[in-house]
Amino acid sequence: MKRSFHQTSILLALLAMPALALLAGEASDSPPPPAPDTRALDEEIQAIKKDVVDLNRDLFVLEEELLFPANTQVAVFLSMDVGEFFALDTVELRVDNKQVAKYLYTPREAEALLKGGVQRLYLGNLRVGNHELVALFTGKGPNNQDYSRGAQLKFEKSVGAKYLELKIADRQRKRQPEFEIKDWE
């Protein structure tokens, strides 16, 4: 007896159905594969991340020590106190009549300074001897008027790092801002 192709296909499908059902049942009954222990792996990744951050910090410190050795290093910081009579816009820094830094402040940066932040405005090298630092401040003064002021300091650079601070403060009695350069001995 010769079967047609159509009949053969139906017969094969009928035979295969129980086998497929059995396989599906086995698949649903078998327990799920154990979850890999991701917690240990995550801890390891966090430890590596911390090591990388520490290494980066050490490299940064090393780079600064190499580029700006302590015997020639000069750093200028900027801080603001109150700020009722002055809204900072830009600061230009000149050392020995040469512009070494110019910084434009965004409202967020000015706000951070008002909250007590101290910015390192400049880091450089100077030879031992006498030098002059001039800082030019621009912004909005009392009554929201354009305001520009300068401050100057003659200082002596000795062996060892030199730290200077530009301080902007309110002079309540005169209702004017005050600009000062302080030498951290």
**Interface residues toward another protein, by CB under 8 A:** 89, 103-109
- Closest approach, Cβ 109 to another protein, in A, equals 7
Q: Which is nearer to another protein, 9 or 56 (CB)?
A: 56
* 37-43: long-range pairs with CB below 8 Å, 24+: none
Q: Which is nearer to another protein, 108 or 173 (CB)?
A: 108
| Closest separation in Å from C-beta 59 to another protein | 18
Nearer to another protein, 89 or 178 (CB): 89
Taking the complex as a whole, how short is the minimal distance between the CB of residue 114 and another protein, in angstroms?
15
Q: Of 48, 47, 110, 54, whose CA–CA distance to 83 is shortest?
A: 110
* Closer by beta carbon to another protein, 74 or else 80: 80
Shortest distance, CB of residue 157 to another protein, whole angstroms? 30
Torsion angles phi and psi, residue 31, rounded to 5: -65, 150
Cα–Cα dist 144/125, whole Å: 37
d(CA 165, CA 173): 23
d(CA 157, CA 128): 5
